[in-house]
Amino acid sequence: MVSSVPVGEKLFIGDLNGHVGTSSTSFEGVHGGFGFRTRNQEGEEILNFALAYDMFIANTFFRKRKSHLVTFSSGQHTSQIDFVLLRKEDRHACLDCKVIPGECVVTQHKLVVADFRFKIRLQRNKHNKVTRTKWWKLKGDVAQTFKERVIEEGPWAEEGDANIMWRKMATCIQKIASEEFGLSQGNRREVKDTWWWNEDVQKAIKEKKDCYKRLHHDKCADNIDKYMIAKKFAKRAVSRARGQAYDDLYQRLDTKQGEKDIYRMAKIRERKTRDVNQVKCIKDEANQQLVKNEEIKNRWKEYFNKLFNGGNESSTIELDEPFDDNNRGFVRRIQEYEVKEALKRMKVGKAMGPDGGPWKNTNTMGYEDGDVSLDGQVVPKKDIFRYLGSMLQKEGDIDEDVSHRIKAGWLKWRQAAGVLYDPWVPHKLKGKFYRTAVRPAMLYGAKCWPTKIRHVQQLSVAEMCMLRWICGHTRRDRVRNDDVRERVGVAPIEEKLMQHRLRWFGHIQRRSEEAPVHIGIIRRLENVKRGRGRPTLTWTEAVKRDLKEWNIDKELAVDRKRWKSAIHVPEP
């Protein structure tokens, strides 16, 4: 196990039961000479193990009092049986190792703590440079020149295959755009938080560095005082410049030109919360850790190659009886209509037949669900599955889809928490960010939902929780929902949900009956006997309910402008 660990990786071993004693005789370099009590056979094996693998016991290299050495205590008996082993090449990195007397990991065992200091080199991930056309220069005289060149040089002849024509046209446009607008270098933009840096801060930092250099050469009292004064002045300059820059930023957010800055702030603060230096590792077929990118890619390649291209081994079934003893006479298969007729002729209340079918099952006839297989592999059946951002259920309900969209909204909320929790950002601007980033995630696909009252309540509760946090309130503050919505400028989500549904209904009404969009509408059949209980709510019935509640005639949907004005829900 130890020999399989690569030499370049750090190795730490603990939880070894044995007494190594206080003497380091015959084990210099492994035992530091600061142990506890006498050595026993298990301790001898620990020392031999450390010597064989070029390791040392960190507990024995630091002089400590008895309470910082004892790792196990039971009544009047105390001993040191828990140790920390690591490679000798890391001896300089071990700063301290002792027992915390007041902390118990488990019953009778003390907590052993070791301090290490390692130098970690952060390597930037290499990325391929991807040059991009500077399309943002498409304005003014340059745009007019670009238009003239495209019309003059473009391959506009209608001949050949459509894909070939499109490819020629796209190549021509890209070539002209790269010549007129230019190409970027393809370097990755570095996110810097020193956008508030100015000349005063730069001068103060330079003066502090100069004082530090003089102090490094001559540590006299005068240089120490000058360095301390320069250090305080630099801190004040940085704090003053940063505060002034943020004040200007928050004041600019109240203006029309500064509304876009909130999205830039949200992206920057969301990047700071990412774990950039996360460790990627998987295991190979031998259960060994792989940490290098190339090895991880090869392992995934082998896995999918074996998964999709590997042959399926067919199993052989041994028959209990020889085939020659079976009856080879012709037997006609029982037809489906014969089974139906037999079930209809069976009388209710009779005893169970020889086939084991009780009489209650004769009242209903159904079809057994079949299996769907791809290349001999049966596709597993699921009552709920996700497709294109929506959760589809077997019975046609939307409970899981509503819950999934609420979770998606909270995910967007957490990504922008750095801005939405900022008390200096105006409430109206936070509300605009919520309307453009969070609410669309919650209402994705809602235009096709036949919502019930409980679904609307779930969405409304989630939205009000977010809006109250934007304003810094909770339900205990007893602030009315209308006041919170008025402060942030957000309309109720239940009204926006109805607007989405009616907008889609108007789109369907303006299409012809032969359009594919009419195929997905579920309609209830007339003059058909249904079972007991309330029928399932359909999307058409939900639309009728919305039209009745808002007192809108569905014939108005033919006129797009009037329909848009009728279903519009203004923000407060």
Which segments in the chain show pLDDT lower than 50?
Answer: 323, 362
Which residues make beta-bridge pairs with 104? 110
Residue 11, amino acid: L
Cβ-based burial of 83 (10 A; exposed 0-12, middle 13-18, buried ≥19): buried
Distance CA 405, CA 441 (A): 7
pLDDT digits (tens, 9 = 90+) for 36-92: 888 899 989 999 999 988 999 998 999 998 888 888 887 778 888 889 999 998 888
Which residues make beta-bridge pairs with 289? 283
For the chain, what's the residue count? 572
The secondary structure of 444-465 as a DSSP string is: TTGGG----HHHHHHHHHHHHH
Residue 403 confidence (pLDDT): 92
Residue 365 confidence (pLDDT): 56
Domain boundaries, the chain: 12-116, 135-181, 199-253, 388-524+535-567
**Angle 301-306-312 (CA atoms, 0-180°, nearest 5)?**
165
What is the reported pTM?
0.51
- Contact criterion met (CB below 8 Å) for 460 and 494: yes
DSSP-derived secondary structure letter, 84:
E
Domain 12-116 top-level CATH class:
alpha beta
Helix 453-471 vs helix 481-488: crossing angle, to nearest 10: 60
Residue 405 confidence (pLDDT): 92
Distance CA 134, CA 126 (A): 24
